[in-house]
A and B are shown apart, each in its own frame.
Chain A
Amino acid sequence: MKLLKLVPDNTNIKFLKLRVPFFVLSLVLIFGSWAAVAVNGLNFGVDFAGGQEVRMTFQSREQAPIPSLRELVGGLGYGEPVVQEFGAPNQVSIRVPLPDGVEDTPGAATAIGDKVIAAIAAQYPDARRDGNDTVSGKVAGEFRNSAILALLAAMAAVSVYIWVRFEWQFGVGAMFALVHDVSVTLGLFALTQMEFSLQIVAAILAIIGYSLNDTIVVYDRIRENLKKYRKMPMNELLDLSVNETLARTVMTSLTLFVALIPLLIFGPPSLFGMVAAITVGLFIGTYSSIYMAGPLLIWMGVTTDSFVPTESAVDRQDKIARGQG
């Protein structure tokens, strides 16, 4: 039986030769993403923006009448509504801002949602109410804060773990890779103006965990090779490590990718944004494992002599026992 080999044996791609241009590209991507977030802003969903959101399906239509809905709901006097497609073309989410002080009047927010739904149902009898969310400004603010906190805490905790398991330079490298992955994902959401919700933050947190998997595999091999090839120049050693683990990097990303694609196409429409974020994050994470996490080690002065003390005690004892220590 002939087995599939997506990556040929003994590849020798000179990844590190292009490390400067790619690193510059990465920096451009990071700062570009920040600029995109600053200029375009994120299209916050009801979780982060607050307000009253109603989701409806127009059962006997191919296409939801978005412009006329915008007009209809806008005419109710609750301010400018955000009407957008949600999942399928005949599904919409409609968000209206809540007036100030609505928290003090129990039932006021609900009354607004009911009026919106009633107005739509009167004009479109085929509209099915799929659900509604009300998030007060205060709770939305808390969600924003806890999202930022969770992202920072996860990035820090994971980097510290890498630092503890490897060396501080690896921790910093992982941190940079994560900043890159999170920034670029945020930048994509700013550019596409896809709705940014709690689910998307969950997706980014998952990316923080999974994008490092490739990085860890490469780092693990770098550490192994650092002990093995004491004389090899650092950039050659990095290239060797990346090449040796290339099949793994490709395969692990690919298995996740082929599992996610059907979910993207056939899965529940309301998961689309989240799954899209994870899928994109997967590619960004693979790229950053190769081009951010590795080269940074060179620039932080990791050399083949750096890790003599990292040999485990067992190895040392072995050598002592064999009279080499």
Chain B
Amino acid sequence: MLDFPLWKKLSLWAMTLAASLLALPSLFNVSGLDWPSALPDPQVNLGLDLAGGSHLLLEAKASDVRAQRLENMEETVRQLMRNAKPRIRIGDVSTAGGQLSFILENAADIDRARGLIEPAMQGATTVREWELNVVDGQRMVLSQTDAGVNQAIDDAMASATEVVRRRIDELGTREPTIIRQGDTRIVVQVPGLQDPEALKALVGQTAQLEFKLVDLNALPSNVQAGIAPAGSEIFPFAPGTPEQGSFLAVRRLGGIRGENLTGAQAGVNPQTNQNIVNITFDAQGGAKFAKLTTENVNKPFAIILDGQVLSAPNINEPIIGGSAQISGSFTPESANNLAIALRSGALPVPLAVVEERTVGPDLGADSIRKGLIAMGIGSLAVIALMIATYGRFGVYATVALVFNVLMLLGIMALGGFTLTLPGIAGFVITIGAAVDANVLINERIREERARGRKVVAAVETGYKEASRAIFDANLTNVISGVALFAFGSGPVKGFAVVLIIGIVTSVFTGVTLTRMFVAGWLRKARPNDIVI
């Protein structure tokens, strides 16, 4: 037990010192000193609650994805039927109850219709995305399978994550974290952010841009009452527009979505001095836009953003250059935000902020300072108590404790773990609990000496007999630490990380290192009696 061959001693010291050295860059950083830039620089990451910054949890609603898919399918089916030769006439189209259902005017078309629709039901994967049923020989009902919806949600979230990432990159902040969480959520963490409002304005904007023709036949009184004529739908004007508070009826189909954009820039219209967003279509979008504007000269079309009408200008002439201007009572900031959002693409599904946490930068620095002071005083108290109680053995425990803190910090830096505010409490708990192993060992040695064992035998028995309880106690702590880690979000996870790593390092320093110290001393001094 007390036999430490040279290779063992050297490797223990090497491990201890290596892990401790890794803590130095972080310590330099905290104390405001400059770490030589030529050396490797592993740092403990500071959590948002210490560094300041914003955490957002965004969630998409599955029902939005379903609705969107249904709408796309409706448009596809209408187009297929219209373009069929000869044309297949359909009627009584409904999307109620999450299903697309329609009647074939001529029941004899059923096989042709089926032949056209079935390929459109198959997505890119082998998943069966839609189910087609025929009722009464004439009505076709398309319903979404769960697998299809899940696939769609998955696709939407993957691309939404990408879009969010592109938008945040435009903010130019350092090291943002954007990860998908679960089926319908995205976590966004931006440390050190000075203006969380800009972040939320940017991420919260779906940026679904649509150009739709205004329904000029709708009765104004019906529109304001929210009654849409057949084939039309009603949108409110956006807040801040002169028409705010009123509604506009637009043709439901035949518009253009702002998907085919290659660029968007905020600007000012030199004639009106209004803030505008200049957009550029790609070839396909430009062609569609040219067709729409050519066919509808002198009619108004509505520019709709996320379900709100920005403006409804008149089409004075065909716009065939592939670029257009969006006006809509913007401020310079909102024009810029919209430009960024359009550039990075529309979110395929609206995202709502279901959790937000923002911490100002002042508080974090204050917390670290106070935490360090408390940790210092606490360590001194523990050290004083240990040395007063166990003398030389307390000194060994103290040296082990110092290495324990350094190793814990070093391993956190190496592993890129995040130190959070509760993590500071974790450090203090680790300091208080790390010496428990030494208490158990030293008390056992005391007991064995009191029973009359010789020094070496007492120390050996002390380490051997105490290690069982030390093992069990630390294992239960690991179990509760794992529960903590699984349960916690950000800050609490940081607490769990410190506790779990601290348990491992404290067993190493408290048991293995001190045993080496004690063994070295016993070998050299060969005492007949020990004070413990």
Contact = CB atoms under 8 A, between A and B. Distances in A.
B531 to A, nearest CB: 6
Contact of B476 (A110, A153, A209, A224): A209
A209 B479 contact: yes
B389 interface: yes
Interface in A264-315: 265-271, 274-275, 278
Chain B's interface size range is: 35 or more
Interface in A1-51: 1, 3-6, 9
Interface string B193-207: 000010011001110
Contacts of A188: none
A133 B352 contact: no
Contacts of A266: 370, 373-374, 377
Interface string A45-75: 0000000000001000000000000000000
Contacts of B374: 262-263, 265-267
A134 B193 CA distance: 17
Given A162-B476, A244-B447, A198 B489 contact: yes
B213 interface: no
Contact of B385 (A135, A198, A245, A258): A258
B46 to A, nearest CB: 13
Interface stretch (A124-132, A229-237, A317-325): A124-132
B433 interface: yes
B353 interface: yes
Given A202-B488, A205-B480, A216-B473, A255 B385 contact: yes
Interface in A122-154: 128-136, 138-139, 146-147, 149-151, 153-154
Interface string A91-131: 00000000000011111011000100000000000001111
B350 A106 contact: yes
A198 B382 contact: no
A135 B355 contact: yes
Interface string A247-269: 11001101111111111011111
A169 interface: no
B492 interface: yes
Contact of B440 (A6, A107, A199, A252): A252
A208 interface: yes
Contact of B366 (A1, A158, A161, A268): A268
Contacts of B379: 259
A212 B481 CA distance: 13
Contacts of B355: 133-136, 139
A150 B367 contact: no
A104 B385 CA distance: 57
Nearest to B469: A220
B371 to A, nearest CB: 6
A131 B486 CA distance: 26
A134 B472 contact: no
A5 B388 CA distance: 9
A1 B391 contact: yes
B425 A1 contact: no
B360 interface: yes
B436 to A, nearest CB: 4
A157 B483 contact: yes
Given A131-B358, A258-B385, A271 B531 contact: no
A259 B469 contact: no
B487 A146 contact: yes
A270 B479 contact: no
A157 B476 CA distance: 8
A151 B488 CA distance: 12
B476 A212 contact: yes
B156 to A, nearest CB: 16
A-B pairs with lowest CB-CB distance, top 10: A259-B432, A209-B480, A150-B487, A256-B432, A154-B483, A262-B377, A268-B367, A259-B378, A106-B204, A258-B381
Given A1-B391, A259-B428, A271-B422, 18 more contacts: A1-B531, A3-B391, A109-B356, A139-B57, A202-B487, A206-B495, A209-B476, A209-B480, A213-B436, A256-B432, A259-B429, A262-B374, A262-B377, A266-B373, A269-B370, A270-B367, A271-B424, A275-B428
27 contacts: A1-B531, A3-B388, A6-B389, A104-B61, A132-B356, A138-B59, A158-B479, A161-B479, A198-B489, A198-B491, A201-B487, A202-B484, A209-B481, A213-B433, A213-B473, A213-B477, A217-B469, A252-B440, A255-B432, A255-B435, A256-B429, A258-B432, A259-B379, A259-B382, A263-B428, A271-B422, A271-B425
